Amino acid sequence: MEEQLNSLLNQKDIDLKVYIRDDASTDRTIEILNKYSGNFKITFSKNNIGTSASLLELLKKIDDFDYVAFCDQDDVWFANHLSEGVQELRKVGDDRFALYFPLYNFLDSKSKITGKRKPISNVKYTNALVENPIIGCGIILNKKAADTIKKFDLSPNYFLDHQIYFIGALVGEIIQGSKYTVNYRIHHNNQVGIRSGAASILKPSLKYKNKLEQLRNQQKTLENLFLQMGDEIPKEIVTRVKAHFRSTSSSSAITRSKYFFRPLFKRQNGFDQFIFRLIFIKLFQRR
């Protein structure tokens, strides 16, 4: 954790305010945070409400800012992470929803780089319908984006970064950085998050049935968000996305089979795309 906190303090060319919510930690977190209390605004909670809910609480409490960035656990930012992101966000302008994310190194528990996240080729709403290629610890939002997100009833029971990516892909602009500025630490309990979709779905040890329930929850969460956005989404997109949810959740096998040949969604990996088309035909039906 100290490596992460020091990386926040070492950001260059940025006037930084850091807000931390401790989620009822039982380890040395409070002891470490107290060492940094002069630099950060810290809220200590008696209840563990989870990562997504904690970030939402923090986001709702801040209003004096130009940009918002997320970080969690013990990931590490390079000194130029925020300045690179802000530079790209300024190109979009303040009146349009803009989300920036960098390229990531994967770090093990001993701070050794074990791999890199390659640039994503399809950063669009068609991808956001079924996949989240961004990692929350690298997200930077402009004020328009942060204020927009506050208006929606985001689910604390699903990945917050995917929900934000989905909103941005529908109503704003998603910017992928060209530099590696975040070391994302991989622990045993988050290994699944960096596998390809097909591997994470089909791997026997993950229990196939449970993974499918997660996918159903994903689609339900995204559909609820879509319905909240209303007139903010361009009409041509609204029509297509409505057709996606209607087709994939239809009780008619014929309707879902037709969708197999011309799906709206687009996974980054071709094999993943084929697997997801099969899944939507066979399993995504209303109960």
In a domain, 25, yes or no: yes
Which of 287, 284, 213 lies closest to 253, judged by CA?
Answer: 284
Q: Would you state the pLDDT for residue 278?
A: 87
Q: Summarize pLDDT for 104-120 with one digit per residue, the tens.
A: 999 888 889 999 998 99
My answer on whether 60 and 108 are in the same domain is yes
Residue 59 falls inside a structural domain:
yes
Within-domain flag for 287? no
Is the confidence at residue 45, as pLDDT, over 50? yes
Whether residues 127 and 159 fall in one domain: yes
Same domain, 115 and 210: no
CA distances from 57 to 20, 21, 51, 120 (A): 10, 9, 10, 30
Instruction: Please check the confidence at residue 47 and state whether its pLDDT lies above 80.
Output: no
Considering the domain architecture, whether residues 93 and 145 belong to the same structural domain is answered as: yes
**Which amino acid does the sequence have at 49?**
I
Mean pLDDT of the region 217-222:
94
Question: Is residue 35 predicted with pLDDT exceeding 50?
Answer: yes
Q: In angstroms, how far apart are the furthest CA atoms of the chain?
A: 62
Whether 191 has a pLDDT exceeding 50, the answer reads no
Nearest to 174 by CA among 133, 218, 207, 206: 133
- Asked if residue 204 and residue 90 are part of one domain, the reply reads no
**Tens-place pLDDT, residues 239-269:** 999 999 999 888 888 888 899 999 999 999 9
pTM exceeds 0.75 for this model: yes
pLDDT value at residue 142: 97
Please report whether residue 116 resides in a domain. yes
Q: Mean pLDDT: which of 9-23, 153-167, 178-192 is highest?
A: 153-167
Domain shared by 187 and 156, yes or no: yes
If asked whether residues 135 and 208 sit together in one domain, one would say: no
Indicate whether 32 and 48 sit together in one domain. yes
Percent of the chain at pLDDT > 70 equals 82
Mean pLDDT of 72-85: 91
Whether residue 163 sits in one domain with residue 216: no
- Using the predicted structure, report yes or no on whether residue 197 has a pLDDT greater than 60: no
Which domain-ending residue is among 194, 218, 246?
A: 194
Give domain status of residue 30, yes or no. Answer: yes
* Average pLDDT over all residues of the chain: 84
Other C-beta atoms within 10 Å of 177: how many?
Answer: 20
User: Which of 148, 176, 194 marks a domain boundary?
Assistant: 194
Given 194, 223, 257, the domain boundary residue is: 194
**238 Cβ neighbours under 8 A, 6+ residues apart:** none
For residue 245, being part of any structural domain is answered with: yes
Query: Is 90 exceeded by the pLDDT of residue 141?
Result: yes
Tell me which residue has tokens 């099969």. Answer: 278
187 and 201 both lie in a single domain: no
Q: Select, from the ranges 42-51, 87-96, 227-236, the one with the highest average predicted confidence (pLDDT).
A: 87-96
Residues 93 and 214 occupy one common structural domain: no
Whose tokens are 């910017």? That residue is 175
Task: Report which of residues 63 and 120 the model is more confident about.
Answer: 120
Least confident range from 19-33, 171-185, 248-262: namely 19-33
User: What CA–CA distance (Å, rounded) separates 64 from 16?
Assistant: 11
Residue 145 belongs to some domain of the structure = yes
Asked, for residue 23, whether it belongs to a domain, the answer is yes
Q: What is the CATH number of the domain that holds 188?
A: 3.90.550.10
User: Do 146 and 182 sit in the same domain of this protein?
Assistant: yes
Q: Strand 98-107 vs strand 173-185: parallel, antiparallel, or unpaired?
A: parallel
End-to-end CA distance of the chain: 44
As for how many domains the chain has, the answer is 2
Better-scored residue on pLDDT, 173 or 207 = 173
Range of the domain at 121: 2-194
